[in-house]
């Protein structure tokens, strides 16, 4: 099913956690879609995003032909969040320096949050503590900030862990807020999506199922030259199949009943 608007577009640079980013966004009841970083600017603009997230990835911004989003994606006038590689690309793009680390930062770590940033309008305004556990997974690090950027969090080793532009809603984190090891990661994503981008939560998986069923019903009726009322579609959710949990049930199968005219 296609959406007339995609509030949050996630550009994928090959991270193993990209699907988790999408899940966390949708848990905030905001619809999002994952698209490859090679997606043309016109395609992204046509989705009318209200925020863009650049995922992590295995590449280095210092490699020849390093992955980069379409030129002009930062000129769409919407807030941008770079995660891991996405953060490093933002720093590199705006004139900072990213270098290979002597040792890779991987696993659980604690980051120190700049108190001034927690009181401002950034990623950490929903966090009261000065320190929070996160999950690191990167080989490069930010050596020098671009002009007009500030450090908003550092790791225990004093390495830059998060950055922000002072003139536009552009943010970057060297860690992964989407994994459960980053215990306040949901608050960071909520601050970016709900507070900075000011996106109104209006999406749920149940509504998505209802909209998808309606779209399939209309399409089947069109193909068979029937009235939509002649096509009945029943969806079975994971809850109805006996799987229960915190998440809402999602469609596991759909059965269509078609009443043909006599």
Query: Which residues are the active-site residues?
Result: 84, 176, 178
User: What is the rounded CA–CA span in Å between residue 71 and residue 51?
Assistant: 16
Least Cα distance to 6 among 24, 25, 15 occurs for 25
Angle at 203 between CA 181 and CA 174, to 5 degrees: 30
User: What is the rounded CA–CA span in Å between residue 218 and residue 221?
Assistant: 5
Q: Which residues pair with 142 in a beta bridge?
A: 98
Q: How many angstroms separate the most distant Cα atoms in the chain? A: 76
User: What is the rounded CA–CA span in Å between residue 188 and residue 43?
Assistant: 27
């Amino acid at each position: 099913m296609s959406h007339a608007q995609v509030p949050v577009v996630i550009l994928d640079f090959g991270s193993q956690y990209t699907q988790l980013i999408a899940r966390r966004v949708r848990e905030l009841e905001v619809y999002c879609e994952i698209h490859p970083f090679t997606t043309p600017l016109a395609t992204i603009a046509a989705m009318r995003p209200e925020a863009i997230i650049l995922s992590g990835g295995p590449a280095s911004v210092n490699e020849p032909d390093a992955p980069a989003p379409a030129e002009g994606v930062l000129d769409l006038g919407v807030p941008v969040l770079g995660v891991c590689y996405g953060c490093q690309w933002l720093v590199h793009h705006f004139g900072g320096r990213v270098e290979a680390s002597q040792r890779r930062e991987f696993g659980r770590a604690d980051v120190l949050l700049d108190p001034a940033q927690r009181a401002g309008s950034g990623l950490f305004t929903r966090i009261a503590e000065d320190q929070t556990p996160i999950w690191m997974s990167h080989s490069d690090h930010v050596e020098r900030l671009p002009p007009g950027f500030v450090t908003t969090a550092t790791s225990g080793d004093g390495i830059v862990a998060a950055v922000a532009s002072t003139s536009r809603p552009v943010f970057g984190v060297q860690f992964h807020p989407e994994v459960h090891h980053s215990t306040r990661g949901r608050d960071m994503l909520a601050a970016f999506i709900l507070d900075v981008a000011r996106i109104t939560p209006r999406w749920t998986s149940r509504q998505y199922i209802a909209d998808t069923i309606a779209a399939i019903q209309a399409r089947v009726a069109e193909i068979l030259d029937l009235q939509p009322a002649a096509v009945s579609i029943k969806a079975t959710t994971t809850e109805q199949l006996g799987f229960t949990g915190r998440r809402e049930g999602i469609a596991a199968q759909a059965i269509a009943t078609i009443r043909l005219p006599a």
